[in-house]
Amino acid sequence: MHLPACWRSVISGGAVALAAVALTAAPASAAPSAPAGCPDVPTVQPFAPWQDYADYLLAPDGDIEAGAATWTLEDGAHAVEGNETFAVGGPADHRSLELPAGAGATTAPMCIGEEHKTMRFFATSAGRGALTVEALYSERDGKRKSVTLGAVRADDAWAPTDILPMRVNEIAGDYDNALSVSLRFTVRGNATWQIDDVYVDPFRMK
């Protein structure tokens, strides 16, 4: 079929216009998602006087200066006057957490990633026994899990505890590297404990 010259010009022009639209109308790209992982927070070196130069971050109210208001306290655990004697958090700090025999205390949740490899705190104890430390978290189906990080011992003078492995950081990658974890401290044996300045180490390559 032979079209008039004017029609051929109209059709040809329309085809060029449609081709231009097809080239310029690329699909809209999705907005970039927020990077997975825990937020970057300021760190300190509270254990440097004991030759531990790792960077640490404070657990939620880990210095007890808010009176353990965000902690879950059981069987007589309570905030008391009297800071650990080294005042690593500052000279104005004046509280610690007392746990009598059989008591337990759990921090508010914090974000733990693969980089959060260890934790440490200050403690003193009057009596015989150990203090068990656990990490608590929820699986994706809501089931609560507990992982024992270790048990520490102390005497009647304030001192840093042993360094404990976080352990749950090893599964944080399965939770977008941002696992919500609480730390639970439980007295085992006939002893009264005081703890203070609970820190977690977000290991970083220098």
User: What's the pLDDT score for residue 204?
Assistant: 67
Asked, for residue 184, whether it belongs to a domain, the answer is yes
| Nearest C-alpha neighbor of 103 from the set 196, 198, 192 | 192
Asked, for residue 20, whether it belongs to a domain, the answer is no
Residues of the chain with pLDDT under 70: 1-35, 204-206
Give yes or no for a contact between 72 and 103, defined as CB atoms under 8 angstroms apart.
no
Q: Please count the structural domains in the chain.
A: 1
Q: Domain with 179 in it: what CATH number?
A: 2.60.120.260
Asked, for residue 134, whether it belongs to a domain, the answer is yes
User: What's the pLDDT score for residue 3?
Assistant: 45
User: What's the pLDDT score for residue 10?
Assistant: 39
